[in-house]
Amino acid sequence: MAKISALQNARYAYKPKLPAVLKLRLNTIQVAFGKPTKAISDEADLKELFKNTYGKPIAHFVKGKNPAVKELIRVGVILSGGQAPGGHNVIAGLYDGIKAGNPDSKLYGFLNGPAGLIDAKYVEIKDKFMDEYRNTGGFDIIGSGRTKIETPEQIASSMETAKKLKLDAIVIIGGDDSNTNAALLAEHFIQTGMSTRVIGVPKTIDGDLKNKQIETSFGFDTATKTYSELIGNIGRDANSAKKYWHFIKLMGRSASHIALECALQTQPNICLISEEIEEKKMTLKQISDDICQVIAKRAENDENFGIVLIPEGLVEFIPEMKKLIAELNDKMATEASSFEKLKSFADKKDWLKSHLTASSFKTFDSLPEAIADQFLADRDPHGNVQVSRIETEKLLVSMVETQLAEMKKKGSYTGTFSSYTHFFGYEGRCAFPSNFDSDYCYALGYTAFVLIASGLTGYLSSVQNLTADAKDWTAGGIPLTMMMNMEQRHGSKKPVIKKALVELDGKPFKTFAKNRDKWALKTSYLFPGAIQYYGPSEVCDTTTKTLLLERGKGKPTEVVVADAPKASAKTSAKKTTAKTKATSKAKPAKTKK
């Protein structure tokens, strides 16, 4: 085995915390049901598509009797979509639950995402194998993939694999599209008389898979803390050099949850929130104007530096860009054979002139060629433009530079502007999971097992009350069809789990909006530092400001003045000694061979 870091070795020894209900003897955990549920919209269409699984009740765990948990079962697990910290712990929780129910039960990991189920490529997960991945980041235990199980051939192959392995259940760990896959698979299995159950687990660092029952998707906590550390580092550097504006694009396919959470943690000068821009119907020019005004006002105070946070999916929320993208997605899907024959950008542009509306082509034509070409890149498996490949941060810098030059000619801007662009995405997807994500993910996996053992299918694993101590968390399952609507995909209407966007009337956004004008002009950066795994609970186990504010537990954000007085050497020494005493009680983990 390859050598491992001291941190990884120590994390192997971490024992994730569980809700009290999951600490009961397994045969005393019973499922209680609420009332039948409804989809958020398009009820008639979804009832027709999900004749056997639509309208199921919400399930929650209570103390009772459940002898079925002791039965021998065979389960397959899939990691689907982009990586998110904590995925390994979902599998660990599922594995430990299965083995606690019956040591002879088996767990199979399908390799490289849903394709592993289709192609019958898998590995049996056993103790030694599982132990190498506990509390670690990444999805490398079995790999992930973005294949959709949607064609008749793919569905048939998946069923054959399930029959071959005699699977009692399949657990799909993924985001909104992946869990739509889970819902469709559950329905197909019932339609064909198969007893294989399907359970989903809510994964995405984007934070857009949530509702009243799913308080947060796993990985969001770790990813935003990772990005916030980097933003804080850049903020301190900017305040030291005092000569650069940093434009930082942050991962988040559609919603701005990551950008908002990072803003609450770091207090940048500017943070764009896509949902607000869409509501205000702001144009790209108006966004650039607003940024330039802040730059000019800070320059008046000789502060020619700053931080701008930009959501990855911003372009899809700017009205003229949203219209352009929708038309491009549709035309490139319905007329793919014609478009794919075009080789040069000039040929593609000429083709688009006769296939787009005049207003959309005008928008496309106004973009720098390098940026415009990014709008024409290969679509993702769901037919959407890959916004991570659109360098919105560079587009904004280009527009700001041009506008500031005009302002300087008119005398309305007297500063200097130098910029750097960044994109924080992959840096956060495979980080060592925070204690919160380690605990939450383990509980989600364990919950998935109890749902399976209780005979449920078409449900999403749910753990709630997440701002309380882990022992007070609650667990159960949410019907997947409850979160669905119909959306345009590949030129036709498809059932999908609706993305949860930033709520402009929600407390997280309101807290940000209340402070942003102050942060714009007064350098108020916060420096969160690296994720902490050991020490006081308030340092190591606290979750995101977003979740705390949503649950009414968050404190008002305080502006920290950059030149606050430092503690005396004597005071610092006392604090260091106290911290050393508090942490020295922890026993070092044994070296793993």
**pLDDT value of residue 591:** 37
Can you list the pairs that 359-363 forms with residues at least 24 positions away whose Cβ atoms lie under 8 Å?
A: 359/320, 359/323, 360/320, 360/323, 360/324, 360/327, 363/320, 363/321, 363/323, 363/324
Tell whether the model's pLDDT for residue 584 goes beyond 50. no
Residues 485-511 pLDDT 10s: 998 776 688 999 999 999 999 999 999
Tell whether the model's pLDDT for residue 581 goes beyond 70. no
Question: 320 and 462, same structural domain?
Answer: no
Tell whether the model's pLDDT for residue 164 goes beyond 50. yes
Phi first, then psi: what are they for 175, rounded to 5°? -90, -155
**pLDDT value of residue 173:** 98
- Exposed, middle or buried: residue 75 (CB in 10 Å: 0-12, 13-18, 19+)? buried
With tokens 């308080």, the residue in question is: 215
Confidence of residue 574 (pLDDT cuts 50, 70, 90): very low
**pLDDT value of residue 568:** 39
The DSSP call for residue 561 is P
Residues 506-536 pLDDT 10s: 999 999 999 999 999 999 999 999 999 999 9
Of 106, 100, 108, give the one whose Cα is nearest residue 79: 108
Question: 345 and 486, same structural domain?
Answer: no
User: Model's pTM, two decimal places?
Assistant: 0.90
Q: For residue 520, what are the CA distances in angstroms to 14, 35, 298, 516?
A: 41, 48, 8, 6
**pLDDT value of residue 514:** 98
Distance CA 230, CA 292 (A): 24
**Considering the domain boundaries, does residue 11 fall inside one?**
no
Residues 382-425 pLDDT 10s: 667 787 789 999 999 999 999 999 999 999 999 999 999 999 99
- Which value, to the nearest 10 degrees, does the dihedral of the CA atoms of residues 122, 126, 132, 137 take? 50
For residues 430-446, give the mean pLDDT. Answer: 98
Q: For residue 142, what are the CA distances in angstroms to 116, 295, 449?
A: 9, 47, 19
Confidence of residue 556 (pLDDT cuts 50, 70, 90): very low
- Which domain does 363 fall in, by range? 226-429
**pLDDT value of residue 373:** 92
Of 526, 530, 522, give the one whose Cα is nearest residue 557: 526
**Considering the domain boundaries, does residue 208 fall inside one?**
yes
Question: 389 and 341, same structural domain?
Answer: yes
CB 273 within 8 A of CB 509: yes
Task: Report the relative pairing of strands 270-271 and 484-489 from DSSP bridges.
Answer: unpaired
Confidence of residue 11 (pLDDT cuts 50, 70, 90): very high
Of 547, 536, 555, 548, give the one whose Cα is nearest residue 218: 547
The DSSP call for residue 255 is -
Domain stop point among 429, 445, 465: 429
CATH code, 396: 3.40.50.460
Distance CA 416, CA 273 (A): 26
Mean model confidence pLDDT for the chain: 91
Question: 397 and 454, same structural domain?
Answer: no
Radius of gyration for the alpha carbons in the chain, expressed in angstroms and rounded: 25
**pLDDT value of residue 492:** 80
Domains: count for the chain: 2
Confidence of residue 348 (pLDDT cuts 50, 70, 90): very high
Question: 421 and 364, same structural domain?
Answer: yes
Residues 89-125 pLDDT 10s: 999 999 999 999 999 999 999 999 999 999 999 999 9
Question: 457 and 445, same structural domain?
Answer: yes
Give the three-state DSSP class for 149: coil
Question: 386 and 421, same structural domain?
Answer: yes
Distance CA 587, CA 539 (A): 19
**Considering the domain boundaries, does residue 184 fall inside one?**
yes
With tokens 């305040």, the residue in question is: 239
**pLDDT value of residue 377:** 87
**pLDDT value of residue 381:** 65
CATH code, 165: 3.40.50.450
The fraction of the chain above a pLDDT of 70, given in percent, is: 92
Confidence of residue 265 (pLDDT cuts 50, 70, 90): very high
**pLDDT value of residue 491:** 67
Q: For residue 496, what are the CA distances in angstroms to 70, 86, 330?
A: 35, 24, 17
Distance CA 158, CA 148 (A): 11
Tell whether the model's pLDDT for residue 334 goes beyond 90. no
**Considering the domain boundaries, does residue 12 fall inside one?**
no
**pLDDT value of residue 288:** 96
Two tokens, residue 253 = 């396919």
Question: 438 and 312, same structural domain?
Answer: no
For residues 294-323, give the mean pLDDT. Answer: 96
Question: 460 and 360, same structural domain?
Answer: no
**pLDDT value of residue 560:** 41
Between 584 and 82, whose confidence is greater? Answer: 82
For residues 333-337, give the mean pLDDT. Answer: 86
**Considering the domain boundaries, does residue 288 fall inside one?**
yes
Domain stop point among 466, 497, 528: 497
Give the three-state DSSP class for 80: strand
**Considering the domain boundaries, does residue 34 fall inside one?**
no
**Considering the domain boundaries, does residue 581 fall inside one?**
no
In the residue annotation, 206 being an active-site residue is answered as: yes
Question: 372 and 235, same structural domain?
Answer: yes
**Considering the domain boundaries, does residue 587 fall inside one?**
no
Residues 124-141 pLDDT 10s: 999 999 999 999 999 999
Q: How far apart are the first and last CA of the chain?
A: 8
Which among 96, 176, 177, 206 is annotated as catalytic? Answer: 206
* H or E element, residue 201: strand 197-202
Tell whether the model's pLDDT for residue 564 goes beyond 70. no
Domain stop point among 401, 429, 457: 429
Question: 148 and 265, same structural domain?
Answer: no
With tokens 């120590």, the residue in question is: 10
Question: 272 and 145, same structural domain?
Answer: no
Confidence of residue 44 (pLDDT cuts 50, 70, 90): very high
Q: What is the DSSP string of 452-520?
A: HHTT--SEEEEEE-TTS-GGG-EEEEEEGGGGEEEEEETTEEEEEEPP-PPPTTSHHHHHHHHHHHHHH
Measured on CA atoms in the order 179, 185, 188, 193, is the torsion positive or negative? Answer: negative
Two tokens, residue 86 = 């904590």
Residues 190-212 pLDDT 10s: 999 999 999 999 999 999 999 98
Two tokens, residue 249 = 């694009």
Tell whether the model's pLDDT for residue 580 goes beyond 70. no
Give the three-state DSSP class for 227: helix
For residues 563-574, give the mean pLDDT. Answer: 38
Confidence of residue 555 (pLDDT cuts 50, 70, 90): low
* H or E element, residue 30: strand 29-36
CB 527 within 8 A of CB 232: yes
